[in-house]
Amino acid sequence: MIKETSFQSIDQRILLATEAFQFLKNTTIKDREAFMNAVADKIEALNEVLLTTAHAETSLPLARLTGEKARTIGQWRSYAKAVAKGVYTEARIDLPQPNQIKADLRKYNIGLGPVVVFGASNFPFAFSTAGGDTASAIGAGCPVIVKAHPAHSETSQIMADAITEVVKEFGWPEGVFSHVTGKSNDTGIYLVQHKEIKAVAFTGSFVGGKALFDLANQREEPIPVFAEMGSINPVFAFQNQLNSKAEELAKEYVASLTLGVGQFCTNPGVFIAQNGSGFERFKVTLQSEIPNITSVNMLHKGIFESFENNKKRVCSQSDIAVVSEVNNDINRWEGRAMVIETTAASFIKNKILSEEVFGPFGIIVKCENKEEMLQIAKQLNGQLTATIAATNEDVRENTDIINAVKDKCGRLLFNGMPTGVEVVYAMQHGGPYPSTTDARFTSVGPDAVKRFLRPIAFQNWPDEFLPEELKNENPFQISRIVDGEANLGSLKI
């Protein structure tokens, strides 16, 4: 049974976090690099108990969990490296000039303050307790209070204990990291509304993310909520590519759609193309591929029930035809793959068809002409990703559609499928609303650190009292903009 952390205990943890923030904002980028690498080492040293516990709680296969553990370790180390390089310090120095009345101005970024992180159900390591949100917030110099996801509470506790051990080993204040548990929504509401919390990170449903966003903006002091809330990740397939590679496209689409039982936020839920021989060949291949998909358990009963209910709701709409589905008997809460078809006219008219069905469920949309494809592109909601399945000639012939799609996504793919998110600087895992609450930021890659920072400028301060990152000698040899020019060296004053 999951223990509910009391509000009194939460108050105490937030008090410790506010005290820890005073400590963290005076740590250097090198201090935080060392801490983050120590967390990575601690997670790497966790034995098979972590994997077997996560497997028992989520039904995710051990191979997938092993890979996700490695990704989580990599996140801590890559974010630590970026922090240490001063990438997010963004140090700016403008020096007084001879014969001018001008101040000595120096600016850099510091943490916002205590951050609440909500663990995600579909990534028990990489997007949960010790995931990228926690790593990036600590990298920014912010204490973290994690609200554990109830679907993998024991896994969450193992990860929390690992981070807590590092806090103790470094002799840092207890409030640098806290872990709260509970199934009640009241716990999350209380955390977000607490006056000392300065930011929130969330990965999950639109309903959950939007509720937290609204709560945060109703506070006396509104705070940012960085919520990643899902996406249908449309694939726009153009004629030349579809006609030449219909069968290959169909196989790629099925593989991406059903990967991990469709439980990825980059699952390509909608395939949009013009009617014709290529479209029909695409459908025929789907009909042969889908029945061969092995159904396995979804993450937990709640996700399975939501998948089944949403699937039934969409299939009950008018102008819907089942293209192919898995027909095996349901065992426990297996997610059975299904692809349906509708017309562009119905997709444009019926907003229900544009809503995410989290799981192995896809809609192929048959357009009669390019004008219908353009209309769909223009009316789409914001997406994490969009894919252009095209030849170079297709791109030249459809710039209006592609330009419309650019306005609707955070990551635009040229061929390939969107599942698989690289943890690198150039990754953008975030998009226009409602896929996220702030399209300017990413929750994957070192740039995730930027979410939890704010600038502060120092005017005419003696060098000895400045932060290390702004001192004349530039002790960490970070890149700084000095009088408008990039500068790696020390200042000769």
Q: What is the pLDDT of residues 31-87, one digit of tens each?
A: 999 999 999 999 999 999 999 999 999 999 999 999 999 999 999 999 999 999 999
Q: Which domains does the chain have, with CATH numbers?
A: 7-229+438-453 (3.40.605.10), 234-414 (3.40.309.10)
Q: How far apart (Å, rounded) are the C-alpha atoms in residues 246 and 243?
A: 6
- The whole-number pLDDT of residue 102 equals 80
Which amino acid belongs to residue 139?
G
- H-helix or E-strand spanning residue 411: strand 409-414
Residues in the chain: 493
Q: How far apart (Å, rounded) are the C-alpha atoms in residues 53 and 292?
A: 30
In which residue are the tokens 């959950």 written? 208
pTM for the complete prediction? Answer: 0.96
Sheet arrangement for strand 199-203: 177-180, 144-147, 115-118, 199-203, 225-228
- The whole-number pLDDT of residue 101 equals 67
For residue 437 the two structure tokens come to 């609450």
Are β-strands 338-343 and 321-325 bridged in parallel, bridged antiparallel, or unpaired? antiparallel
Closest alpha carbon to 196 in 110, 112, 132, 134: 112
Are β-strands 361-367 and 338-343 bridged in parallel, bridged antiparallel, or unpaired? parallel
Q: Catalytic positions, please?
A: 228, 265
Q: How far apart (Å, rounded) are the C-alpha atoms in residues 272 and 187?
A: 41
pLDDT < 70 stretches in the chain: 1, 101, 330
In which residue are the tokens 């609450």 written? 437
- The whole-number pLDDT of residue 97 equals 84
Q: How many CB atoms lie within 10 A of CB 464?
A: 7
- The whole-number pLDDT of residue 329 equals 72
